[in-house]
Structure 1
Amino acid sequence: MKKIIILSLLMSSSTTFAAPTLAQLWGDKTDVTVSLGAKTAPRYLGSKDQTVSLLPNISAKRGIFYANALRGVGAQYLNDSGLYTSAGLGYDLGRTEENDSFLRDGSDRLLGMGKIKPSATMNAMVAKKVLANTSIIGEVNFAIAGQNKRGHDFRVGTESIVFKNNKNDVNLGVNAYLGDKNFNRTYFGVNAEQSVNSGYAQHTAKSGIYAYSLKGDWTYKINNRWSVYTLAEVKHLAGSAKNSPIVGRATGIAVSSLVNYAF
Structure 2
Amino acid sequence: MHDHRSVAAVFKRGRARRWLGALAVTASAYLPNSPALAQSSPGNSVGINVTALPDYEGSKSYRVLPLPTLSLSKGAMFVQGFIGGIAYPLWPSVAVGLLIGVQPGRNQDDAAVLNGTGDIPTSFDFGAFARWHYGPASAGLRFLQSAHAGYGNRVTLSASYALVQKPVDRVSVSADAVWSNGPSQQTWFGIDTEQAASSTAGLSAYHPSAGFSRADLRIDWDHRLNQQWSLQSAFGVGSLLGDAANSPIVERRAAVFGSVGAAYHF
Alpha-carbon distance between aligned partners in 2 of 1:132 and 1:205, rounded to the nearest angstrom: 40
Answer whether contact 1:7 1:159 (CA < 8 A) is retained: no
The SS at the match of 1:38 is strand
Q: How far apart are 1:163 and its partner, in Å?
A: 0.8
Partners of 1:133 and 1:58 lie apart in 2 by: 23
Deviates further, 65-74 or 204-213: 65-74
Alignment-derived partner of residue 188 in structure 2:
187
60-69 or 251-260: bigger deviation: 60-69
Match of 2:117 in 1: 113
In structure 1, the residue matched to 2:50 is: 38
| 2:101 counterpart letter in structure 1 | G
User: C-alpha separation between the residues in 2 aligned to 1:52 and 1:143?
Assistant: 24
Structure 2 counterpart SS, 1:211: strand
The aligned amino acid for 2:135 is A
Deviation at 1:225?
Answer: 1.9
1:202 is displaced (CA, Å) by 1.3
Aligned letter for 1:46?
Answer: G
Distance 2:225 2:212 in 1: 39
SS of match in other structure, 1:210: strand
- Aligned twin of 1:95: 106
Q: Say whether the 8 Å CA contact 1:72–1:90 is kept in structure 2.
A: yes
Q: Classify the secondary structure of the residue corresponding to 1:6.
A: coil
The change in CA–CA distance for 1:7 and 1:172 in structure 2 (over 3 A counts) is farther
Determine the structure 2 residue equivalent to 1:9.
Answer: 36
Q: Is contact 1:11–1:161 with CA below 8 Å preserved after alignment?
A: no
Q: Which runs of 5+ in 2 are unaligned?
A: 1-24
Tell me, in whole angstroms, the C-alpha distance in 2 between the residues paired with 1:204 and 1:10. Answer: 33
User: C-alpha deviations, 1:79-121, integer Å up to 9, x for none?
Assistant: 55411212122121221223xxxxxxx4344221211111211
Q: What whole-Å deviation, never above 9, does each CA across 1:26-69 have from its counterpart, x for those lacking one?
A: xxxx935132x4222222111122x2322131525136642426
The alignment yields a C-alpha RMSD, in angstroms, of 2.3
- Alpha-carbon distance between aligned partners in 1 of 2:35 and 2:69, rounded to the nearest angstrom: 16
Query: 1:159, 1:173 within 8 Å by CA — same for their partners in 2?
Result: yes
Instruction: Please report how far the alpha carbon of residue 234 of structure 1 lies from its aligned counterpart in structure 2 after TM superposition.
Output: 1.1
Find out whether 1:84 has 2:95 as its counterpart: yes
Is 1:138 aligned to 2:141, yes or no?
Answer: yes
Separation (CA, whole Å) in 1 of partners of 2:209 and 2:130: 26
Shift of residue 154, structure 1, vs aligned partner: 0.8
Structure-2 separation of matches of 1:113 and 1:150: 16
Q: Which amino acid aligns with 1:162?
A: L
C-alpha displacement of 1:192: 1.1
Letter in structure 2 aligned against 1:88: L
Q: What's 2:171 paired with? A: 170
Q: Give a deviation string over 1:121-165, Cα, whole Å, max 9, x none.
A: 112111222x53212211100112x4x411101111211111111
CA separation of 1:56 and 1:239: change in aligned 2, threshold 3 A:
closer
Q: Please give the alpha-carbon distance, in whole angstroms, between the structure 2 residues aligned to 1:93 and 1:41.
A: 13
With over 3 angstroms needed to count, the CA separation of the structure-2 counterparts of 1:70 and 1:124, relative to structure 1, is same
